[in-house]
Each structure stands twice: as C-alpha cells, then as structure tokens.
Chain A
Amino acid sequence: DQQVKQNSPSLSVQEGRISILNCDYTNSMFDYFLWYKKYPAEGPTFLISISSIKDKNEDGRFTVFLNKSAKHLSLHIVPSQPGDSAVYFCAASARDSGYSTLTFGKGTMLLVSP
C-alpha cells in the first residue's frame, strides 16, 4: 500500500517557466512533508518542508503548497533553471509515531531544457 504517491514519473519544462510537481498521500497521520532533490550518483538532498499547520512555505524559487483536505501537496519552482533537472522525491512523516522515519514517493524526474 503506497502511502505517498507521485503519479508523474517525469516532467519536462522550458527554462524560465514554472515547474509543478505533485504528491498525494493517504495516511491522515502524516503531519510533516518534505521535498528532496536527487542528482544521478548522489544521495538525496533536502530542499524544502512544510508542517501540517501551514498551507504554504516559500524558500527562494521553491514553494510548497499543502492541501490537507485533499491530502495533496505540490512543489512549485519559479523560474525553472537547467540546474533544477533532477529527480524530486516527496516524503512524509508522522509526529505521533514517536520516531522520525520518512515515507517516500517514487519520485518525479524533472527535465528543464534551455
């Protein structure tokens, strides 16, 4: 049972345009959500996060939106740059679980073309 779903395996965007990556979750206990970026042959690196008490968090070109009623979050990258080309993983954790393990989605490969 996949608790965190990224239904788009890939996304292609032109440089300067907006990239929107989507993530859905099924576990209502999740209360903290993160996005990770992964380049080939490297480990994932933390990008941005959002707590369930918020519906938006912004960091430079990156904004994450959370819609709790729909159990949906999205990552917006504006403007997109070729260096943003990577695999993006959505992850979630449940505070009440007592430990901070992360449940990951399958990832979305973003390709930003010049």
Chain B
Amino acid sequence: NAGVTQTPKFRVLKTGQSMTLLCAQDMNHEYMYWYRQDPGMGLRLIHYSVGEGTTAKGEVPDGYNVSRLKKQNFLLGLESAAPSQTSVYFCASTFRRAGNLDTEAFFGQGTRLTVV
C-alpha cells in the first residue's frame, strides 16, 4: 500500500520557471492538501480540496495554483517561481467518516524545491 506519493522528490528551478508537483494517493480519500514547511514556520496550508473537481485556498495560496481532476491526484503548480517559494512541500490526504470528523492526515515524503 503506497499511501501518499509525491513527485518529484527534489527540484531546482530558476526564477520565473514553472513546474507542477504531483501528489497521488491510493486510499480513496476525499480530502487532499498541500502544505509548505519552512524553517521556524511549521507547516502552512497552501491549498486544499474536499473532493474531485473542487479546490480552495489555504493560509498561503499566493503564487500557486492547484487542480483535482481525479480523486486520487492533487496537482500543485507554480506559474512563475520565485526564491520565496524555496521550501519543502508536503501533500496530505484525509478520509472523512460520516458522523465523525476524522482528521488524521497521511503525508507524502515531501518535495524539496529550490528556486535560484
């Protein structure tokens, strides 16, 4: 059981370049999330999705776009990368149980992105 898989694991971008980070989960979870982790800042929510075809902004959405065309995949896009987007990005998913809000999140292994 793979759980949550992120692609790629590492990437170096030049300022202004674009890229897409892919997150795939095989647990049939409804909810998916993108977080970034920066030193001394903890995990901050970028965007999230509560189901296929839906997306919503989190705490730090500027400079990012997302898409959830398939239930198992959640894509994070950087249209024009900036050095401030140098970070470790984590994808996560949760399964919402009827009548009980299950907020245990399963995380991917992370993508380390450097923008030079």
* Contact in complex: A43, B4 (CB < 8 Å): yes
Q: List, sorted by A's number, 8 A–B pairs whose CB atoms are closer than 8 Å.
A: A43-B110, A44-B107, A89-B42, A89-B43, A91-B43, A101-B45, A101-B58, A106-B41
- Taking CB atoms, residues of chain A closer than 8 Å to B106 are 46
* Contact in complex: B31, A99 (CB < 8 Å): yes
Which of A6, A100, A103 is B96 in contact with, Cβ under 8 Å?
A: A100
Q: Please judge, given known A-B contacts A95-B101, A100-B31, A100-B96, whether A42 and B42 are in contact too, CB under 8 Å.
A: no
- Taking CB atoms, residues of chain A closer than 8 Å to B92 are 43
Q: Please judge, given known A-B contacts A99-B31, A100-B31, whether A44 and B104 are in contact too, CB under 8 Å.
A: no
- Taking CB atoms, residues of chain B closer than 8 Å to A107 are 42
Closest to B42 in A: A106
A49 CA to B103 CA in the complex, in Å?
9
A46 CA to B40 CA in the complex, in Å?
20
Closest to A47 in B: B104
- Taking CB atoms, residues of chain B closer than 8 Å to A89 are 42-43
Q: Please judge, given known A-B contacts A99-B31, A100-B31, A101-B48, whether A93 and B42 are in contact too, CB under 8 Å.
A: no
Closest to B49 in A: A99
Interface residues of B in 62-87 (CB under 8 A from A): none
